[in-house]
């Protein structure tokens, strides 16, 4: 039987029951019709601030990070403490992705297995799989993780991966990474890395995703062992993320703390 013709799994139906959705006599989900209310107009995005103020500064300010990327990455890793979120911004071609790749490689080499690197988007589930079936055996924990990533809409939770929008897929990638990081956190130091974070999303969706990640990383379970490292070309998301350290890389590859 083709994958797209398979009936919902038992776990999928259990998720529907937990979400309070009615079922037919044959176990099919009765999806309520979409609301016809006209959504409120989206307010314009706030202007990009010329200077980003760091809410919680690290114990000592990082130096200007010169090339090459390895020296750059080693200087940055010294300021990645448990429970912190570091944001790297800058134009395309400035070296953000190269810096993240070097940070991951050096963190693995220095920790010798004591630090796990978790990248968003690393998991690639089948487009025919149901979102409700992708998480841990504990369905309640998976629904809570999806909610933490901003994917609490029952239509998305009960849909197949291939039916998700770009914004919903970004939230699913974040939820899978958050689950993996939380799974490792009790016994292992975790570096949660996201390159081009929110780069494909519209501004309201991007800000919503940033707020969800900012809430998640302050939870006690994550604050003791998880470090978050993000790179993006969007300066306007910094206030929503509330980074502990914000570094801007210019077009010529130089960097400065914001």
Is 169 within a domain? yes
CATH code of the domain covering residue 226: 3.40.50.300
pLDDT for position 16: 77
CB atoms within 10 A of CB 167: 20
What is the edge-to-edge ordering of all strands in the sheet holding 115-119?
A: 115-119, 189-194, 226-232, 85-89, 245-249, 255-257
Is 107 within a domain? yes
Alpha-carbon Rg for the chain, nearest whole angstrom, is: 20
Whole-model pTM over 0.75: no
Is 103 within a domain? yes
- First and final CA of the chain: distance in angstroms? 56
Q: What are 58's two structure tokens?
A: 């690290």
Is 201 within a domain? yes
Taking the C-alpha atoms of residue 76 and residue 209, their distance in angstroms, rounded to an integer, is: 24
Is 15 within a domain? yes
Taking the C-alpha atoms of residue 194 and residue 178, their distance in angstroms, rounded to an integer, is: 11
Is 39 within a domain? no
Is 42 within a domain? no
Taking the C-alpha atoms of residue 214 and residue 54, their distance in angstroms, rounded to an integer, is: 14
Looking at the structure of the chain, the number of domains it has is 1
Is 48 within a domain? no
The domain containing residue 143 runs over which residues? 3-31+56-257
Q: Is the dihedral of CA 21, 22, 23, 24 positive or negative?
A: negative
pLDDT for position 58: 47
pLDDT for position 19: 76
pLDDT for position 243: 92
Written as one string, the DSSP assignment of 158-214 is TSBGGG--HHHHHHHHHHHHHHHHHHHTTTSEEEEEESSTTTTS-HHHHHHHHHHHH
pLDDT for position 64: 41
Instruction: Identify whether the C-beta of residue 15 lies closer than 8 Å to the C-beta of residue 202.
Output: no
Q: What are 5's two structure tokens?
A: 């013709």
pLDDT for position 57: 42
- From first to last of the 258 residues of the chain, give the pLDDT tens digit: 555 556 677 887 788 777 777 766 555 666 556 555 556 666 666 555 444 344 444 444 443 444 456 777 888 888 788 888 999 998 888 788 888 888 888 887 766 666 788 998 888 889 999 999 998 888 988 998 898 888 888 888 899 999 999 889 988 998 999 888 888 887 888 889 999 898 888 898 889 889 888 888 887 777 678 889 999 999 899 999 989 989 888 766 566 666
């Amino acid at each position: 039987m083709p994958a797209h013709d398979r009936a919902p799994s038992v776990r999928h139906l259990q998720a529907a029951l937990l979400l309070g959705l009615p079922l037919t006599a044959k176990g099919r989900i009765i999806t309520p019709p979409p609301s016809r209310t006209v959504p409120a107009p989206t307010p314009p995005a706030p202007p990009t601030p010329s200077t980003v103020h760091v809410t919680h500064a690290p114990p000592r300010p990082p130096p200007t990070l010169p090339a090459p990327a390895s020296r750059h990455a080693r200087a940055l890793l010294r300021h990645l403490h448990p429970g912190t979120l570091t944001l790297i911004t800058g134009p395309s071609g400035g070296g953000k992705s190269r810096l993240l790749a070097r940070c991951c490689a050096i963190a693995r080499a220095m920790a010798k297995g004591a630090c796990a690197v978790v990248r968003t988007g690393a998991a690639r589930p089948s487009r025919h799989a149901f979102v409700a079936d992708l998480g841990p055996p504990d369905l309640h924990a998976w629904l809570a993780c999806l909610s933490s990533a901003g994917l609490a809409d029952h239509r998305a939770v009960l849909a197949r991966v291939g039916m998700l929008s770009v914004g919903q897929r970004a939230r699913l990638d974040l939820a899978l990474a958050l689950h993996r990081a939380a799974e490792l956190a009790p016994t292992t130091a975790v570096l949660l890395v996201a390159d081009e974070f929110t780069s494909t999303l519209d501004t309201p969706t991007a800000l919503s995703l940033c707020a969800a990640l900012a809430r998640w990383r302050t939870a006690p379970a994550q604050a003791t062992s998880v470090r978050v490292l993000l790179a993006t070309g969007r300066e306007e998301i910094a206030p929503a993320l509330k980074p502990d350290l914000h570094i801007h890389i210019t077009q010529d590859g130089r960097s400065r703390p914001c």
